[in-house]
């Protein structure tokens, strides 16, 4: 399967989606992995988690236009980074899709989620009352997913643990559209960061993506 969707944000920043239709072996054979990565893949149980890990790495390879080994590590906060290539990266996956965002100049964050009714039951865990107040009842589920994906993208872009979606990441009121932007902020202790987050409904998935500071 080729790249399903690709969007350029600026000259140095883009993201793409890969629909995972291959078997695990087909994805594995498209990668060059070191011994540590091979051992990690072998530990993964067969199924979506296995396909997601492989799918994000295949997509990253396609976006970087290389067949060479890519040294992709994860830091102490769980944020992936490239050891020998001058790109910031963010990875996400949900059911049949993998998502990757890359930038030469800015920190990035991306999240993809399949849209399901269950988000309404947990909305109070990641949304503040004033955020719930601007949700459009006609598009409640979709708009809640926009908020979740936006907060997840900001969290990934910032790249540090111990950040609460409800207590530290705030969404400004916005009107839901299938594709648009919203303003968000991350506030914690002396840290105060402002973000413009893009979002996109793609089939029955929602994607949130953000470009942070250089």
Domains annotated on the chain, with CATH: 3-107 (3.90.470.20), 111-211 (3.90.470.20)
**pLDDT, the chain, mean:** 96
Report the percentage of the chain scoring pLDDT > 70: 99
pLDDT for 69-118, tens place per residue? 999 999 999 999 999 999 999 999 999 999 999 999 999 999 999 999 99
- CA–chain centroid gap for 17, Å, is 10
pLDDT for 59-68, tens place per residue? 999 999 998 9
Nearest to 187 by CA among 158, 211, 152, 147: 158
pLDDT of residue 46 exceeding 80: no
For residue 188, the model assigns a pLDDT of 95
Which is higher by pLDDT, 58 or 45?
A: 58
For residue 214, the model assigns a pLDDT of 67
In the chain, what is the straight-line distance between the N-terminal and C-terminal CA atoms, in Å? 33
For residue 90, the model assigns a pLDDT of 98
């Amino acid at each position: 399967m080729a790249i399903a969707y690709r969007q350029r944000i600026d000259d140095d920043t883009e993201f793409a989606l890969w629909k995972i239709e291959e078997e695990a072996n087909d994805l594995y054979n498209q990668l060059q992995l070191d011994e540590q990565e091979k051992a990690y893949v072998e530990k993964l149980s067969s199924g979506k988690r296995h396909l997601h890990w492989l799918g994000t790495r295949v997509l990253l390879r396609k976006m970087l236009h290389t067949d060479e080994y890519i040294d992709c590590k994860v830091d102490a906060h769980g944020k992936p980074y490239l050891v020998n290539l001058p790109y910031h990266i963010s990875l996400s996956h949900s059911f049949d899709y993998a998502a990757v965002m890359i930038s030469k100049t800015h920190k990035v964050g991306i999240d993809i989620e399949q849209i399901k009714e269950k988000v309404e039951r947990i909305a109070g865990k990641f949304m503040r009352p004033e955020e719930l107040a601007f949700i459009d009842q006609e598009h409640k589920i979709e708009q809640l997913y926009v908020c979740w994906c936006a907060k997840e993208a900001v969290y990934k872009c910032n790249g540090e643990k111990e950040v609460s979606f409800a207590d530290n990441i705030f969404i400004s009121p916005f009107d839901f559209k299938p594709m648009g932007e919203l303003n968000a902020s991350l506030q914690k202790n002396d840290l105060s960061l402002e973000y413009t987050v893009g979002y996109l409904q793609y089939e029955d998935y929602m994607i949130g993506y953000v470009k942070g500071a250089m």
